[in-house]
Structures are given as C-alpha cells and as structure tokens.
Amino acid sequence: MNARRISGGGQGKRRQTRGMTPEPFDEAAFQEWYLPERKRVIVPASILTGILSVALVATDPFTFGVDPGFGVVAAIRVGLASVILGMLWILVRSRRPAMVDRVLFATWALGSVFVVVIHGMQAPTGLAHQLVDMLLVLVAYMLPNRLPLQVIPAVVLSISAGLTTPATGEPLVVVIPAYVVAHAIGIVVSRSMEKTARTRFQAFQEIRALRGIIPICATCKRIRDDQGFWSQVEEYITRHSEALFSHGMCPECTDTALEELGVMELPFEEGMS
C-alpha cells in the first residue's frame, strides 16, 4: 500500500493527531470582542453616577449647612461629575481594551476617594456610611474590568472606610467581617460574569469558524484548521459545533460496494420463488 503525504499551502503539513483537543483560548481576541459590551454597561452607569453626584448637591445644605463645608462638598461632587464626563469621552473614543481598563480603574479609585472624603466631613450617622461603602465595594466588582483592577479600589475603599469606623462608634469585630463578606460576594459575582462572557465568546468563535472560508483538500476531503492541522470533515465539524455524525451508506455507494464484492441484487420475486 502506497503511503500518502498530505500537503497544502505549498509546504508539508502535519496530520491531525490531537483528536478532540480544544483550540487555545485567544485572550487578545476575547478582549477585543468584549470591549463593546463593556462600554454598553459602563457608559449608562457612568452617566447615572454623574447625574446623581450633581443632584445630591441640593441635599448638602441640609447635611452640612450653608458654610465652607458645603462649598467643599459641592466642589467635590462637581469635580467627580467632571471626571466621569472625561472618562466617558475617552471610553467612547478608545478602541484599546487596555486603555479602557486603566481609565475605568483610575476613575473608580478617584471616585472612592471622593466618597471617603465626603463621609469624613459628615457627622457620624451609625451604620449608614458603612452600608454605602459596602455597596460601593460590591459595585466595584460588578463593573466590567479585570479582577485585579476591581480588587485594588475596593480594598482601598474598605481600608479608608475602616479608618473612620472609630468615629462612628461601630465595633470593628462587626464591621470587618461584613467587609470580608462583601469582598467575597463581589469576587464570586465578578468571576461568574467573566466566565459567562468567555463561554459566550468561545461559542461565538465556533459559530464564526463554520461560517468562514474553510480550506478543504480536493482529493481526500480533509479540512485544514487555523493551526495548519488536517483532519476529517466529521472531526472538524464535531470540534467546532455540537453536531454529531451517524455513519451509513447511500444507495449509490451500496450498489457500488455490492458490485465490487461480486454480489448481485436479486429481484424480490425471484427471492420468493
């Protein structure tokens, strides 16, 4: 029996021997694909935050009174809204995921500092400040960013809020476990959201692979994948979709096989005689 060498693209190719090994995950392609979805979450949330920051200026006279403290807080709120507006301008124009990561991280970290400063200027109000800070910790993990860039501002916010705890009168044995639980919940939510996005991206890649131009050998009908490996049509489609194959023989191939074996198909009437 003569051995065949499968080739394509002007050079020899290795025959596919990896079986059902999945394709390596393309992190750069995932970040590019995920960027528009991240913007759809960040932009409305940022607009709402900026509006609330400015709107709360109307409530500050009841909290601080009309004194220099009110002016400082109002300036902080307007400054935060300005920072958010600048962030939105960069986000809308940016096409680089890394730039979006840095801008979102810097904006959220600066916003956390603003919140801590405002809380420090207010009179102690029991657990109200702590509840707001814990909510901000959870929001930090829900923003579509890389986990390390979510953890850093959330931890800084927690530490800063913890430094004001003695002034508000809550015992640390109550506040610290509450923050730990908030971080644990936030990390679980963040990982779950990222896992869901990656699963959707992989499904999208598999569907797109079957829609593109697929190089196939005109002789043996094997298909070449993106890494230059050649595999049978059934194996390629099984790896890139949820389809399964059930092998059989069509009537023409059945007749050809019977002829090659020297078996003649008898008429039904003769078989009954």
Give the count of domains, the chain: 2
Instruction: Please give the residue range of the domain that contains residue 190.
Output: 27-208
Looking from the CA of 256 toward its CB, the CA atoms found within 13 Å total 5
Give the model confidence (pLDDT) of 64-115 as tens digits.
Answer: 666 666 677 777 777 777 887 888 888 778 888 888 888 888 887 777 777 7
Final residue before a domain boundary, out of 208, 228, 243: 208
Mean of the per-residue pLDDT values of the chain: 74
**Alpha-carbon span 225 to 24, nearest angstrom:** 12
Q: How far, in whole angstroms, is CA 8 from its chain's centroid?
A: 36
185/71 same-domain check: yes
152/117 same-domain check: yes
Overall pTM > 0.85 = no
190/59 same-domain check: yes
38/107 same-domain check: yes
Cβ density class 155-165: b for 16+ within 10 Å, e for less: ebbbebbeebb
- The least confident of 218-222, 236-240, 262-266 is 262-266
Domain for residue 9, yes or no? Answer: no
Q: Is the predicted pLDDT of residue 146 greater than 60, yes or no?
A: yes
251/129 same-domain check: no
**Alpha-carbon span 64 to 121, nearest angstrom:** 8
Domain for residue 22, yes or no? Answer: no
Indicate the SS3 state at residue 114.
helix
226/186 same-domain check: no
138/158 same-domain check: yes
pLDDT of 62 reads: 63
Final residue before a domain boundary, out of 186, 208, 230: 208
44/118 same-domain check: yes
78/144 same-domain check: yes
65/187 same-domain check: yes
Of residues 265 and 203, the one with the higher pLDDT is: 203
- The answer to whether 31 and 97 are in contact (CB under 8 A) is yes
65/199 same-domain check: yes
Cα torsion 189, 193, 195, 196: sign: positive
What share of the chain in percent tops pLDDT 90?
3
Give the model confidence (pLDDT) of 168-207 as tens digits.
Answer: 556 677 778 888 898 999 999 999 988 998 888 887 776 6
Final residue before a domain boundary, out of 208, 223, 246: 208
Domain for residue 100, yes or no? Answer: yes
Query: pLDDT-based confidence at 165, cuts 50/70/90?
Result: low
pLDDT of 100 reads: 85
42/86 same-domain check: yes
Domain for residue 171, yes or no? Answer: yes
Domain for residue 97, yes or no? Answer: yes
